[in-house]
Amino acid sequence: ITVTMLANYSYKMLGASAARGVNFGKFYNLQQTLDRICQSKMVFLAEIHANPPVVALQKVIQEHLIADPKVHLNLFLEHFSFEQQHLLDGYQAGDLTLEQVIEKYKEIGTEGHDLEKYRDCLEHAKEHKDKIRLIGGFIPRTYAKIVMRESEEAAV
């Protein structure tokens, strides 16, 4: 599902598929789309990084998913590599403030996303740490670059 946002954050969903199948170009109602997402065991959400309407929609989805008392959300973040998991764990445990996470993230310097744009989502996840676990979901960029330029073997 590709997200189309209007200027006032009125959400409309534009169904799409790489193969331009039957749902291509079909508009969805937000509530129906959220309900459909909640029926899934796994949800992939692609985004335009740090785009405020898209990030706001991510939080809406996050809130909707954990409204079900049976749901525990493992939220894999492309913005963090698995080597940075300690930052997310420390943040959710209350050992690090978001400002400290952002500072340490910048010191490490390998991923380079503007985490401030995700403040609402991250704070929501911390407030609901019993329902949401933040997970650094990607390999470090240093290794990814080696794989892309050379080979998997060179990165290992």
pTM here is 0.81
What pLDDT is attached to residue 8?
41
pLDDT tens for the chain, residues 1 to 156: 444 443 344 444 555 445 455 655 566 678 888 888 888 888 887 777 888 888 988 999 999 999 999 999 999 999 999 999 999 999 999 999 999 999 999 999 888 899 999 999 999 999 999 999 999 988 888 888 899 999 999 988
* Rounded-to-integer distance, Cα 27 and Cα 51, Å: 21
Question: If you search the block for the tokens 């985004």, which residue do you land on?
Answer: 47
Domain-by-domain residue ranges, the chain?
A: 30-154
From residue 36, alpha-carbon distances to 43, 65, 108, 120, 133 in Å are: 10, 11, 38, 23, 22
The pLDDT score that the predictor gives to residue 20 is 55
